[in-house]
Structure 1
Amino acid sequence: MIEGKLRLILGITGASGVIYGVRLLEVLGREIETHLVISDMGAKILELELGLTLDDLLEHATSVYPNSDLTAPISSGSFQVEGMIIAPCSMKTVAMVANGIAENLIVRAADVTLKEERKLILIPRETPLGRIHLENLLKVVEAGGTILPASPAFYHAPKTIDDLVDFVVGKVLDLFGIEHNLYRRWDLPEQG
């Protein structure tokens, strides 16, 4: 779609599991043009869970926008991107995306991503899921989004939290066709 470097938007919201967004940014920032938006609560969770601040993420992002800036380039469909990832995605953000309530830049960019029929991937990190959560997630899927729960596999024999996180991050990369070796893919042992 776009000549040159792959271009993606990454939103980080205030759900637990901010490690998924940070790891995505680290991996994407190496080869991908990454446009980052972090919500106020996302920044708070970043500090609480990882002891990091937005300044710690700047080196990995191509551009960073305040969540309040609805004039940012990524708020327009004319800004060409392959897609958007929200990791982690709070249930508040899911509800706003599902219902078209674009009152902040993360949700506006997600809304634009859907209306332009680009790939939108939400990584919810909530359990258990109630009926309202499930209905909102379904609405996002029906609008063209993809729900990728933060549910790592165990067939690759993870040894660390990083192994678990890399599995989920690798699944996101797979959906965008980005090559990686973050986890061992499923393969049955040879039968003797």
Structure 2
Amino acid sequence: MPENRRITVAVTGAGGTSAAKRLLAALQEDDRVTHVDLLVSANGRKLAALEFGTQEDPESVAQALGGTSPKVRMLDPTDLAGPVTSGSYPYDAMVILPCAAGVLGRIAQGLALDLIERAADVALKEGRRLVLCLRETPLHLIHLRNMVSVTEAGAIVYPMIPTYYNVPQTLGELQDELVERVLQLLGLRHTDRYRWDGSSTPARREHTGAP
């Protein structure tokens, strides 16, 4: 991907909006990223309000998610005429974090009931990177088939499943690693802290004291 990246980030009604906050912080701090379009669904606002103890209105949610820099523009997910509805609008990649199972299902079926789903549809038809961070468990057969469908269409399904071999000590460390892996999928690596060298990682050595 080129420098001067333009990224679309969507937050939907599944738990884990604090991970989205960490992703937004990383994108805002990255000089390679020049613009971020942020979309938060109505259910995403409910979850953010629950997890951050804030109000559900868009301005309060944007503040809670930390999407406050000039790089970030918050879009109305109900506005199907928003800029990301068109393939002519330039952006390099889209991340839905967290991605609710219902949103995954509608994307898999080519449905677009709001601007988030339409933007995902555009990403697929234009051959852009689309990362869906599914937050659901356990998974039934329809979920699994939907995951196959979006993968066949070109998306990357990256469930919000933590890794443990780095011996994380806090929820924040789990989320930091998840966000770093998402950034790597966008071609925006921030750190080698979680890179496996054949025997360990810097993060694991830090936590275990192993050489």
Identify whether the pair has TM-score above 0.5, normalized to the shorter chain. Answer: yes
Contact 1:12 1:21 in 2 (8 A): yes
Q: Secondary structure at the match of 1:77?
A: coil
Per mean C-alpha deviation after superposition, the further-off stretch among 5-14 and 50-59 is 50-59
- Per the alignment, residue 126 of structure 1 pairs with 136
Correspondence for 1:59 among 44, 51, 68: 68
Once the two structures are TM-superposed, the CA of residue 109 in structure 1 deviates from its matched residue by 0.2
TM-score calculated relative to the size of structure 2: 0.84
CA distance in structure 1 between the partners assigned to 2:128 and 2:106 by the alignment: 18
2:80 is the alignment partner of 1:70: yes
Aligned-residue offset at 1:182: 7.6
Alignment match of 2:91 (pick from 75, 81, 95): 81
Q: Secondary structure at the match of 1:122?
A: strand
Q: CA deviation at 1:131?
A: 0.5
Long gaps (5+) in structure 1: none
Partner of 2:173: 163
Equivalent residue in structure 2 for 1:37, among 39, 43, 63: 39
Report the count of equivalent residues: 191
Contact 1:163–1:183 (Cα < 8 Å) also in 2: no
Residue number in structure 2 paired with 1:153: 163
Q: Which amino acid aligns with 1:167?
A: E
- Tell me the distance in 2 between the aligned counterparts of 1:51 and 1:34: 24
Q: Which amino acid aligns with 1:170?
A: E
Q: Alpha-carbon deviation of 1:51? A: 2.0
Give the match for residue 48 of structure 1: 50
Partner residue in 2 for 1:10: 9
- Alpha-carbon distance between aligned partners in 1 of 2:62 and 2:124, rounded to the nearest angstrom: 29
Query: Partner of 2:68: helix, strand, or coil?
Result: helix
Structure 2, unaligned stretches of length 5 or more?
Answer: 55-59, 201-210
Considering only aligned residues, what root-mean-square deviation do their CA atoms show, in Å?
Answer: 2.1
Q: Secondary structure at the match of 2:143?
A: helix
Question: Hey, what's the Cα distance between the residues in 2 that align with 1:179 and 1:141?
Answer: 22
Q: Find the counterpart in structure 1 of residue 19 from structure 2.
A: 20
TM-score (normalised: structure 1): 0.92
2:168 and 2:183 map into 1 onto residues whose CA distance is 19
Identity of aligned residues (%): 38
Q: Separation in 2 of the partners of 1:75 and 1:26?
A: 25
